[in-house]
Amino acid sequence: MLRTIFIVGAGGFIGSVLRYLVQVFVEKGLMSTFPWGTFVANIAGSFIIGAVYALAEKGNLMSAEWRMFLAVGICGGFTTFSSFAYNNLTMLKEGVYGQFIWNVGGSLFFGLLAVYMGMLLVRAIY
């Protein structure tokens, strides 16, 4: 159990740092109040987690430890759902309802689509 906690923790550290870097890169120079960095991280993380679970379904391509490291650790640290919730609450408080609807609806729709596409990609390769 302790080993798994360290595996997930190491992945979470990596995912969190990557998420920060994505946000900085995506939002650099943008003059927008829309949280594009979080949006991109959530969609990319959804794609990656779909691919990881599709690989895990194949049985011998990925160990349980690698699945925990990638899906729970890296993707869990990367996808930033808590930031997503905070950004949406802020948009509601500021009365920017169009941005709120686009962020919630777009993240949900494109996140589900990205998971599906990640799974299709892996299934097509293997």
For the chain, the domain total comes to 1
pLDDT over 70 percentage in the chain: 100
- Predicted local distance difference test score (pLDDT) of residue 40: 94
The answer, yes or no, to whether residue 59 has pLDDT greater than 90, is no
Residue 118, domain extent: 2-125
pTM of the model: 0.82
Closest to 44 (Cα-Cα) out of 90, 111, 102: 111
**61-118 pLDDT tens trace:** 899 999 999 999 999 999 989 889 999 999 999 999 999 999 999 999 999 999 999 9
CB neighbour list of residue 70: distance below 8 Å, 6 or more residues apart: 11, 48, 52, 62
